[in-house]
Structure 1
Amino acid sequence: MHSSSRTHPIDADEALKLGLLKEISNDPKVRALELARQLAELPSVSLASSKTSLERTLFDNMESCLKDEVNVASHCFAQSDAALGYAHFAARKATTPRLGHDTKDVAKGKIRDLNTALSSSVANYPKRPFFRFGGRGATFQQFDIAVGALAGGLRKADIAPGDRVLAMMRNSVEMACSWMAVNRLGAIWVPINPELKSVTLKTQVIEDASVFVKSPDRAGPQSFSNLMDLAPPVTEPVIVTPATTSALLYTSGTTGKSRACVLSHEYFLLQAKALIDSCELRDSDVLYCPFPLFHLDATALTIVPALLLGAVAALSVRFSASKFWDEIRATEATVYNYMGATLAITYKQQPNERDGDHNVRRAWGVPLPNFAQEYEQRFGHSLLTLYGSVESGLPVFQRLGVPSPQGSCGRVRRGYQIRIINEWGDEVPANTPGHLLIRSGHPNAMLKEYFGDPAYTASAFRNLWLHTGDLAKVDEHGNMYFVGRDKDVVRRRGENDNAKEVEDEFFCHPDVVVAAAYGVPSQLGPGTEDDLKLAVQLHPGSTVTEDELWQWSATRVARFQVPSVIEIVQDIKRTPTGKLDKSAMPLVGGKWFDIRK
């Protein structure tokens, strides 16, 4: 740390606001002793090696830490009595990591991998309910027993640390067990969409996957039930580090090719802790998620928070507007997750006397619709929103109790930094849309890489910033606004059409269930930018026509936002997480209109 003493110190409060510090120590000497204790718990390696490793772990941005704190810690480690101090603390018995209901152990670094998190949860509250799905339930202890049994079968099938294990199953207790069982062996869980077929499936199956875990209702030498009975259970997990890869999760691929993100054990814990803190989750909560386990929301943001809190994770097979509230009531959910068009579809259901008959106190997700206030009043609970992705984690979140401007997804969380730049890489002024860049000082807070694609990884992290592919803006108060995907903006007649804004306008039409706006090749020929097409799904029995929808839009939106072509469709395909799948939208078809009139 001696190099830190040559830097110019900055004010502690300012460092905290900028996200350069996780906390301000009340007593630098106490902080130094904490570092020494953690050093004593490391394996017996050289003092210099331990010191360097510990500094990197505890001081994410050493040059920005308080000068006095750094100097005291440096003195304890680097001065002549360091060896004596190390020997003193090394003689102490290392404390066993124990999980508290407030998850402070995660923040303090005692629990930094999923294996330890599960073991601690089982030790702390074995008989508590942990999992609810389809009328079935499992306590933490029952879940752990199933994980051990499956891990035994996988080990018998020669699964070893670092192997990639493909899981192609619908949501179930067994699917969740497969994740923890694979990680218990030090292997990597690769969940993929069970509905994939043909070419798309081929591109997502990792060629070197070690075993194919089939659905529990299918027979075969590697079916779930056979693996559970194949060998004695594995009760002791393989030792892993916080950076050990836990899983590969695919991006949603709504505007292009899906890519596998390499995610560490600690990544999942950090995202869960962020959600717990931002939503003020409790150990008494039942966390309901209608999205699949091959997605971040059901894994890092439902199962893991429940694991850390001793709460309940309640999953559904898939999102269904007609069954949504019935499942929430059946699972006794107190917090649920929304995404994509799910709130819009739910809100379009006919109001009934049971709208307020539930235990929900809060819901979180993206995007927050423009009818959020009406939704909250109708269903009697608050809505929170954020900005996040598989790649970045949760860098932006609304703050409870702090008024948030309309359209904002919150402010940057401590430990993250964002930049909004133009096409030349220059930062733009406040309230100016641009390309969103993100980075974090927390180790393992973001993806490690895109699997098997070093060139794309290098491009995404050019200049040491994650280029998200999203457009956003930040106001003068630090509130961030998501504008849209870079590929979700249609360049037409010199104007940028934001697809989401057009979709929001058409959602206000009483006959429209959902609408998808996207670009199609212009009839004026190649090189003339794109035209805006709108696919519209109507309520059953509606007789509204494309002409009537076009005339209606011409009176409500800016001229450049009026669609060139409208097509009424029976259904709009969505991803398993409820997002509109625009990569599957037809480029031909529909009725064209002359927007020059």
Structure 2
Amino acid sequence: MGSLDTLDGRPIEDVTIDSMLRDRAERIPSETALIYGPDDRHVTYRELDTTANRIANGLQELGVEHGSNVSLMAAHPLKTLFGMFGINKAGGVYSPINFEYEGETLSYQLNDTDPDVLVLEDRYLERIEAVRTDLETAPELVVIETTTETPETSLETTAFADLRDEPADDPNVTVSWDDTASIVYTSGTTGMPKGVVIPHRWIFANYIAPKRAFLGSEDVVHTSLPLYHIGGVYADVVAGLMAGGSVALWDRFSPQEFWDRIAEYDATSATLISVMMPWLLNAPETDSDHRNTLSKVHMQPLPEEYEAMAERFGFDVVTVAFAQTETGSPIVGVIRTDDHGGTPEDYRIGYTPDEVEERARELNLPVVEGIDEERYMGRVREDIVDVAVLDTRGREVGPGEVGELCVRPKQPGLLLKRYHAKPNRTLQAMENLWFHTGDAAYRDDAGNYYFVDRLGDVIRRRGENISSMQIQDAVATHEQVEAAAVFPIPAPEGGEDRIGLAVEPRADVDITPASIATHLDGRLPEFMHPDETYIVDEIPTTETNKMRKVELREQLLE
């Protein structure tokens, strides 16, 4: 078994979140694990492990045991990670909540998860108060103080600070790599969000395994991604700690401060999502743009200008992937981009491009070159999954033909376990023993895969996939609305979709876009509010009463 198949002498499939942190704290206790950039707060592996132990012991006092669901709603990344590691150390299941949720979106997720404990920042207490009568059960509340004065509440709460005063002894809960590590919710592009039940094995042997090709103990991972999605919490944070490196945490992406932040901690790796890349590429160019330490970059999705970005900013290696909460990263591409010089030698930290390529091949990761088509996703990781593009009858289509991308694992625990509390949706997604991703794609003769679109309606904004149905359902609760249709207004290359809303009012009613906007306040988070609202006489439908959204959008946007 090669060195990349093991971690600390154990098969990588056997590693769990809690055991990884425990081992790191024993081997490199004084090395920096986390940095919270805004406060220049450095946390060693020993401190992170000890803090997680204290929180775990406190959670156990509140009744958390092996397999208990614990929800966490926090914007502060460092406190989020203290909570997450504490939950996993207690044997619990980390279930993060988008901290912008409120109203129906918040109560829906809480009712679906049914957590024993909800850990949340004090600034969100009022939102819990507002939906408390809609909750089927009342979880124990643990409040993280973020302000000088915690808001008054009639709810019984425990202070997060009290948990951190618990004994530092490791709770030593036995956790298996096939146990559930987290329940992470999808964005709900085909209905209400579904909780994806993720085992520890999925994290280490599937999703973040490609990071082992280029992350080592010298690396610093830069991230400003939210930790309620798998990209930020696992592909950035856990991958960086697995390598024994450091992770620099920031509250949010700032195009103006991005390169200063990279320089402040000599960051070597980062994930750039679609909304970030145009900001960086369109900034005024200078002769020294390439003189930085950022050498290994994951781009999601791969933009048409990836080579221009790599040349300008001195990236050695660019990676791309198809990734979902359910599937991990079954399709990956490792692209060397150092043919124009790459990272200057006096700035390069960690593995060289040759070493990255060698390690990638040892991990059976596809190393590709000459990518010139849009929406490229990579090639199949044939050692862990089978991938096929299937038609509507479940038959595989040929190269160049568009169908639904479907994935099948070659080992247990490499895809989702199930959708939480949704057995029928799980069976539907696993039809014919293939996981159906809901994405349209095609492959070429060389085995490269390309993304086409979601099979259903989807709006992409601020890194979120927004379900049109969620917005429509909220609008439909307005007493003057007969019907509502939500659709994306496509943005220029690299931009964000805008949200279009068509409203058909009830008969003899005078409704305005302003009244719709007021109605949605408190029901939906701000990023889900429509940008353009159109009042129409009638929303066109099919004979089976399904909305003709394509026709409607063409009428409104022509």
Scaled by the length of structure 2, what TM-score is found? 0.70
Pairs within 5 Å for 1:298-337: 298-337=232-271
1:243 aligned onto 2:243: no
Provide Cα deviations, 1:48-74, integer angstroms capped at 9, x if missing partner.
xxxxxxxxxxxxxxxxxxxxxxxxxxx
Give the superposition deviation at 1:350.
Answer: 3.2
CA distance in 1, matches of 2:322, 2:379: 9
Q: 1:256–1:150: structure 2 CA closer, same or farther, 3 Å change rule?
A: same
CA distance in 2, matches of 1:348, 1:226: 47
Give the superposition deviation at 1:333.
Answer: 0.8
Task: Supply the AA of the counterpart residue of 1:453.
Answer: K
Q: Which residue of 1 aligns with 2:435?
A: 466
Would you say the 8 A contact 2:18–2:85 is kept in 1?
Answer: yes
Q: Which residue of 2 aligns with 1:225?
A: 161
Pairs within 5 Å for 1:69-468: 103-104=6-7, 108-109=11-12, 111-134=14-37, 135-206=40-111, 208-215=114-121, 216-218=144-146, 219=150, 221-229=157-165, 231-253=166-188, 256-271=191-206, 273-277=208-212, 279-352=213-286, 355-381=289-315, 382-401=317-336, 402-406=368-372, 407=374, 408-413=376-381, 414-468=383-437
Q: 1:107–1:426: structure 2 CA closer, same or farther, 3 Å change rule?
A: farther
CA distance in 2, matches of 1:588, 1:443: 49
Q: Alignment partner of 2:187: what SS?
A: coil
Q: 1:583–1:266: structure 2 CA closer, same or farther, 3 Å change rule?
A: farther
Would you say the 8 A contact 1:272–1:305 is kept in 2?
Answer: no
Which segment is superposed worse, 426-435 or 209-218?
A: 209-218
Q: 1:353–1:585: structure 2 CA closer, same or farther, 3 Å change rule?
A: same
CA distance in 1, matches of 2:325, 2:557: 41
Q: 1:595–1:223: structure 2 CA closer, same or farther, 3 Å change rule?
A: closer
Pairs within 5 Å for 1:523-562: none
Q: Alignment partner of 1:205: what SS?
A: helix
Q: More strand by proportion, 1 or 2? A: 2
Q: Which residue of 2 aligns with 1:16?
A: none
Alignment counterpart, residue 497 of structure 2, candidates 516, 527, 530:
516
Mind listing any 5+ residue stretches in structure 1 that lack a counterpart?
1-22, 26-99, 491-498, 508-512, 524-574
Q: 1:367–1:584: structure 2 CA closer, same or farther, 3 Å change rule?
A: farther
Mind listing any 5+ residue stretches in structure 2 that lack a counterpart?
122-143, 151-155, 337-367, 460-486, 505-523, 537-551
Task: Supply the AA of the counterpart residue of 1:200.
Answer: T
Would you say the 8 A contact 2:56–2:87 is kept in 1?
Answer: yes
Provide Cα deviations, 1:480-515, integer angstroms capped at 9, x if missing partner.
11112112589xxxxxxxx99964xx33xxxxx835
Q: Alignment partner of 1:355: what SS?
A: coil
Would you say the 8 A contact 2:263–2:293 is kept in 1?
Answer: yes
CA distance in 1, matches of 2:208, 2:553: 50
Q: Which residue of 1 aligns with 2:516?
A: none
Provide Cα deviations, 1:217-274, integer angstroms capped at 9, x if missing partner.
2548423212212x32341321021111111111133565322111112222124542
Aligned residue pairs: how many?
A: 429
Q: Alignment partner of 2:307: what SS?
A: helix
Give the superposition deviation at 1:460.
Answer: 0.5
Would you say the 8 A contact 2:208–2:234 is kept in 1?
Answer: no
CA distance in 2, matches of 1:425, 1:592: 31
Q: 1:145–1:517: structure 2 CA closer, same or farther, 3 Å change rule?
A: closer
Q: Alignment partner of 1:165: what SS?
A: strand
Give the superposition deviation at 1:522.
Answer: 13
Q: 1:477–1:181: structure 2 CA closer, same or farther, 3 Å change rule?
A: same
Q: Higher relative contact order at CA 8 Å, sep ≥6: structure 1 or structure 2? A: 2
CA distance in 2, matches of 1:152, 1:489: 42
CA distance in 2, matches of 1:405, 1:126: 42
Q: 1:453–1:441: structure 2 CA closer, same or farther, 3 Å change rule?
A: same
CA distance in 1, matches of 2:24, 2:553: 59
CA distance in 1, matches of 2:11, 2:554: 61
Would you say the 8 A contact 2:12–2:204 is kept in 1?
Answer: no
Would you say the 8 A contact 2:322–2:377 is kept in 1?
Answer: yes
Would you say the 8 A contact 2:500–2:531 is kept in 1?
Answer: no
Scaled by the length of structure 1, what TM-score is found? 0.65
Q: Alignment partner of 1:214: what SS?
A: strand
Give the superposition deviation at 1:122.
Answer: 1.1
Would you say the 8 A contact 1:255–1:582 is kept in 2?
Answer: no
Q: 1:427–1:137: structure 2 CA closer, same or farther, 3 Å change rule?
A: same
Larger Rg: 1
